[in-house]
Amino acid sequence: MLAEGGSVAAVAAAHGYGSEAAFSRAFARVTGETPGRVRRAAA
């Protein structure tokens, strides 16, 4: 979803996270990259 241009907030909500910050921390912990970096790299 991030690579397709979805916002971090929209992706977080779609996956059941209560906040964008919680999703960002979990994403970075699992992938080693921040969601914003992944989204920018896909653009």
Give 2-12 pLDDT, tens digit per residue. Answer: 888 888 999 99
Please tell me the total count of domains within the chain.
1
Residue 21 lies in a domain: yes
Residue 3 lies in a domain: no
What pLDDT is recorded for position 41? Answer: 87
Residue 2 lies in a domain: no
Give 11-32 pLDDT, tens digit per residue. Answer: 999 999 999 999 999 999 999 9
pLDDT-derived band at 36, boundaries 50, 70, 90: confident
CA neighbor of 43 nearest in space, from 10, 1, 5: 5
CA neighbor of 27 nearest in space, from 12, 43, 7: 12
CA neighbor of 2 nearest in space, from 19, 18, 20: 20
CA 11, 31, 15 angle in degrees (round to 5)? 25
What pLDDT is recorded for position 33? Answer: 94
* 38 vs 43: which has the higher pLDDT: 38
Residue 31 lies in a domain: yes
What pLDDT is recorded for position 6? Answer: 87
Q: Which domain holds residue 24?
A: 8-42
